[in-house]
Amino acid sequence: MAQIFHRSTNTLSRVSIYGFVFFVGAFAYLAYEVSQSFYFTDVNVAQQQPVPFSHKHHVTDDGIDCRYCHTSVEQSSFAGIPPTHTCMSCHSQIWVDSPMLEPVRASYRTGESIVWTRVNALPQFAYFDHSIHINKGVGCTTCHGPVGQMPLTWRAHTLYMRWCIDCHNQAARFVRPRDEVFSATYQPPTPNAPVTFEGVEYRTQLALGRRLVKAYKIKPARIITDCYTCHR
């Protein structure tokens, strides 16, 4: 019986199969990279606001504590967005005629809130509690990045679930003493710049972190098995 397919068909079949596998792998890699890009995550993208509020100016230059504006951050799941009268407690006396601050003055006159653009927004199915993280020694800059250096605020991390889990499973790398939680300039300990906790000097973040994990009773993500903890 005459051969139906040419001998080259075998080669073409192998190439097409291997090529398909390669295509699937390349597509999966491309999809992953796209999902991590600023286009989807908004990481390092400064958000435009009704008023160009500068954390760098207020925090670093003026030395204003985070809690002056984010008043509920120590007791609530939500850090709180400052009401207009908080802004006007200063700006009724300084920069009173600045065109840049007219939306603030208008809000104060009318009682209508300023509509700010959320920067660090989680999906509604994810629950996050600021107060418990602060109580466990997680600093503002750990999640929000170098806020004290931001002329306009941007998102520093993806806030994806795996990012949260990685932090929980390696908490010793990130936690700091509670009295340093709101410091925008805090640096982890080094041999030349140790950090003191409970009268003991620590010269590496890992050594300090391990002590804090025990002191603050921080549980790793792998033993928190209830999905309802975060997804409510």
Whether this prediction's pTM lies above 0.85 is answered by no
Q: What is the pLDDT of residues 100-152, one digit of tens each?
A: 999 999 999 999 999 999 999 888 899 999 999 999 999 999 999 999 999 99
Owning domain of residue 27: 8-36
Count of domains for the chain: 2
Q: What is the pLDDT of residue 14?
A: 74
How far is the CA of 183 from the CAs of 22, 101, 186, in angstroms?
Answer: 48, 27, 5
Q: Is the dihedral of CA 74, 75, 79, 81 positive or negative?
A: negative
Q: Is residue 209 part of a domain?
A: yes
For 161-206, how does the pLDDT look when each residue is reduced to its tens digit (9 = 90+)? 989 989 998 999 999 999 999 999 999 999 999 999 999 999 999 9
**Is 52 a member of any domain?**
no
Look up residue 138 and give its DSSP letter. Answer: -
Are 225 and 123 in a shared domain?
yes
What local confidence, expressed as pLDDT, does residue 178 receive? 97
- Confirm whether 93 is domain-assigned: no
User: H helices of 53-183, where?
Assistant: 55, 66-69, 84-91, 102-110, 130-135, 140-144, 161-169
Q: Is residue 142 part of a domain?
A: yes
**208 touches 216 (CB < 8 A):** no
